[in-house]
Structure 1
Amino acid sequence: MTTSIFVNLPTTDLDRSKAFYEALGFSINPAFTDENAACIVFGDNIYFMVLTREYLGTFTDKQIIDPKTHAQTSVAFSRDSRDEVDEVLAKGLAAGGVEPREAQDYGFMYSRDLEDPDGNILGFLYMDPAAAAQGPEAYLAEQGASAPSASA
């Protein structure tokens, strides 16, 4: 059995969310999309269910947070190059997203955050394949550098 990942995100404007994620290059599965939700296809087994706040509330007894003011999660996606990270950010910014902080460049890893129009946080990152295989500390030791602290 193959495991699929479904990430549920709240939205205040479903049509705006669909347009935003399509602008990033992702598709929408119409079989699981209606006036309450849109199924955004990120990959073969990765999906975002962008749900109206009211509809998301039917799946939990907990309060639905406002992602503009509260962070519940940040989902990160790898890219094959730094240029691809920059390209997806450019598309997201042009489609109404916001970059909430400066790019993080650790030499072996480059990442940028993008908030969708509702404030949900998406991270896009490139990591040198050798660093990914060895781990950051071993890779940097081999390069004659030290790993940045977690607070960097």
Structure 2
Amino acid sequence: MNKQSILNLPVKDLDKSRAFFAALGFAFDPRFSGDNAAYMHIVDGAIQAMLTTEPFFQSLIDKPVANAREGNEIVICLSCDSREEVDSLIAGAAAAGGRIPHRPEEHGFM
């Protein structure tokens, strides 16, 4: 059985979120994307994210959608092959409008 992990993430502005992640080099699958969601490949064949508009996300759950401006609901870590790749990814996120809340740290193998 082929297993995948699909993270469903609520976003306030789907077009802006899609542009942000595209600027970081992530690809989207139009077959599973539309007005309410964008299917993003993180690790092809293994990990994907479904960026969903908040109203659509709300239709999937029975609790309020967390307000990311007031608290964190999730922390997603992406592995990189080198410190240079980490620095490049962070620089790209900042250039695309992302906020960097914590400076990168060196943890040897991590």
Same fold (TM > 0.5): yes
TMscore range, shorter length: over 0.9
Question: In structure 2, the residue corresponding to 1:47 is in which secondary structure?
Answer: strand
- TM-score (normalizing by structure 1): 0.69
Runs of 4 or more above 3 Å deviation: none
CA displacement 1:54-82 (0-9 Å, x = unmatched): 00001010110111221111011110000
Offset at residue 100 of structure 1 (A): 0.5
Equivalent in the alignment of 1:5: 5
How many residue pairs are counted as aligned between the two chains?
A: 109
Question: In structure 1, the residue corresponding to 2:86 is in which secondary structure?
Answer: helix
Offset at residue 103 of structure 1 (A): 1.6
Q: Which of 1 and 2 has greater Rg?
A: 1
The residue type equivalent to 1:19 in the other structure is A
The residue type equivalent to 1:58 in the other structure is S
- TM-score (normalizing by structure 2): 0.94
Which structure is richer in relative contact order (CA contacts within 8 A, separation 6 or more)?
2
In structure 2, the gaps of 5 or more residues are none
> Does 2:34 align with 1:27?
no
Question: In structure 2, the residue corresponding to 1:85 is in which secondary structure?
Answer: helix
Give the share of equivalent positions with the same residue, in percent.
36
Equivalent in the alignment of 1:41: 41
The residue type equivalent to 2:98 in the other structure is G
The residue type equivalent to 2:5 in the other structure is I
Equivalent in the alignment of 2:16: 16
Pairing of 1:71-82 with structure 2 (within 5 A):
71-82=72-83
CA displacement 1:58-115 (0-9 Å, x = unmatched): 1010110111221111011110000000111111111111101122223x14xxxxxx
The residue type equivalent to 1:11 in the other structure is V
Pairing of 1:1-150 with structure 2 (within 5 A):
1-44=1-44, 45-106=46-107, 108-109=108-109, 127=110
In structure 1, the gaps of 5 or more residues are 110-126, 128-152
Distance in 2 of aligned mates of 1:31 and 1:8: 16
Distance in 1 of aligned mates of 2:7 and 2:69: 18
Offset at residue 48 of structure 1 (A): 0.9
